[in-house]
Structure 1
Amino acid sequence: MHGEIQNIISYLQTVTSLRLTCHFEEKPFSLPDFEILGDSPLSVFLKHYNLNKEEVILLSSALVPHIIPGFFDKIIEAFLLKGGNFPEFGGIKGDNQRGMLPTGETVLFIVAGTDLTERLKHLPLFDKSNQLFKHHILRLTQVKTGEPYLSGKLLIEAEFVEVFTTGKVSLPSLSIDFPAEHLQSQLVWEDLVLPDQVWSQIKDLQIWLKHKDTLHRDWNLGRKLKPGYRALFYGPPGTGKTITATLLGKYTQKEVFRIDLSMVVSKYIGETEKNLATLFDKAENKDWILFFDEADAIFGKRTGVRDAHDKYANQEVSYLLQRIESYNGLVILASNFRSNIDAAFVRRFNAIIYFPPPKVEDRLLLWEKSLPQLISLGKDLELREIAERYELNGSHIMNIVQYISLVSLESRNFILTKDLMIKGIKRELEKEGK
């Protein structure tokens, strides 16, 4: 794994030293060739993005401070024997890092020196047309107004440092910087009770997740199709929307994140867009499933513009629509009512799936699947009668089963009577004021 890291750092050291030698001795300079070694995560990355020599220098310059503090300082010291500054090389000191951190100016000097023509030719290396910046792998920090933008620090996303150095990457945790919760479940598809039509539509989502890369890349439809897939799950609470999204990820080996809209939506102008940008930038090209629960809070109908607040609220919706359409994975919006979602979004959904309240047969099946095997039914209890009489959803039934199970464990009586069942049902319905 570490062979490729040593290879790319050695290349950067060679090129940097060669550039400084040619600069101070006024000799012509040309970039030496770079050869990828092995099949480490870094090697796979370099091959996948097919980086040229300049991009290898760009990437390695951002990576090296995380591995060798003072890397650039030691090289420059060998050329400035009497000390002093060398502003052409760029670089900046960090708050905690005592060594030099590279800036855009650092990389531009290494690849182009002080030759004006070469410097102008290499400026596109730092704009959004470069895949390393376009895919949010690298970025330059913002600088104060009036200062050259290439004097911003050259940064690499932390997850790429982790995967290049350890071979794995940790999933982000719910925080202000990442307002999304990682969803996992020990349930299986067989635990769900859904109508056949819903199962059919869920299978369509699985098929897209399985074949999307082939569709866009091998079949060359990426030019004509939007990059991702957008689905609306709507229906009453407790009908299986969240667990369906979770199991979609489980069975297609995709990570699923539920967006906490309370952390995304801000009363301050511009903050909601900033929070959304952080979220989508982090998720981009990860193949994650993004699940917006109770999506009405931000995906609801746009209002007529009566004041500045309405104007900026509508801008938030428009910005979100733009980011969802450019996201290259599966986005699922969940709502209690389809009519709550803005028509501009509805037109753009690839799939609209209704999760209805369970009917009698479905409720009976839910009871049969949910009750623990250690609990026996009393002679006075008929599950079909309960299923016919009480219009409960899967969430209700699981809460009631938990209550029944706890009472049984405490009393050491594992025969479920009708009285206990009715008590559990009434207790659940009272929570909702029914």
Structure 2
Amino acid sequence: MDSFKIIANGYVITCDGEDRGGGYNLLIRNDRIVEVSDKLDPLTAIHPYATVVDASNKLIMPGFINAHFHSESVLLRSRTDDLHCSLWKTDLRTQECIKELLNPLNQEDIRNVHLMSYFSHLKSGTTCVGEFGLPYTEKSFVTALQAIARTEVKNVVALQNWDQISKVSTSTGERHRFLMNVGKEEEFTVYSFENLLRAARDLKVPLLAHVGEQRGDVENVKKTFRKSIFGVLQEFTAVRPDTVFVHLNHFNNQETKMLAEAGGSVVVCARSAAFKRTGYPSLRHLMRKGIRLAVGTDWGGVDMLEELKFLHQLHLLISGIPQFSPLELVRMGTINGAHTLGLSQETGSIEAGKKADLTFFSLDDVRLPVISGYANSEMLASLLLHDLSIRDVSEVMINGEFYVAKGEVMTMAEDEIAE
């Protein structure tokens, strides 16, 4: 029997093709949105037995999509905060911690790290994560996937080694989606590319190119292959419309042009780049070429709203960085992430047919500005970026069910998560 919910009287940012915004009511059947309407009475008349959720004085948007994140970073961030990214490989404390996580005997630690990461995402209003984890063995990989599934947060996981590839090739079900990581720049070889691309084809999964984060990586590839990273990827047919490109901090204008012609998407991790001191991607060139930009928090933090705020202010600090409008940034943190991860038919916007993955912000604080009765999507996006924080997240819905209510996780005690 179908279950109906009506989310009534909310301020909504849809991030759909029309970029609707204002006072709307949402009709949800089971796990999907059926209708977005500015009239409540017809919905309640047609569905008198629907559960009505009063969203008065709440801002509702698609759940954030964090398109790139390392879950182990919730544990490692305190060890890496004061180090340039290039020094992490030689820092004994950092490497010892990674070694412990990679130890197959430490299954409980792996489980706890991923529970903490994903429940933190959930409570912060994120409903989908692009996971770029460690090269776990098969047993540890399964433990991590089980912990992620426990939280109900949607995910697209990058496969990091042949243990993980082998496990996925023999698994069934659609609880997780996957990407094939093409590997680290220092490990690029003809043999590795041929085998990884063959595995991606066999598994029918897109590629992920985590490249160009540090200038040294770019220079090393040039010395080895006598061409740029993009040229190498292009030679091995790894540049495709569904390839997920992450970072690209040191790509030049010509490479950006070639990427635009290929129809690729880029995950920008600007706030993390500031902490890691790796440099920023050429946002001006990426925007000028019309490349779709998604957003990831990358390392340590799960706060997607803070990531969008950082991007919003970056042009004030660095000359040449373009100024993004609030609505552009909200789209980067939602529907653009869905497109990048191959989930745009399922999530990322509020419209009929999409899964009901929603984040609610309370507007009850008397310090907030009064919302005009004529509020549109740009005005609501501006309110979100200028006046709200993840502490204002009141409810989070995934697949039509609430997993955060009144700011608290519903499916696991928070003190148990913290332990």
The TM-score range, normalised by the shorter chain, is under 0.3
Name the TM-score, length of structure 1 as normaliser.
0.21
Name the TM-score, length of structure 2 as normaliser.
0.22
Asked which structure has the greater RCO (Cα within 8 Å, sep 6+), the reply is 2
Instruction: Name the one with the larger helix percent.
Output: 1
Q: Kindly name which structure, 1 or 2, has the bigger radius of gyration based on alpha carbons.
A: 1
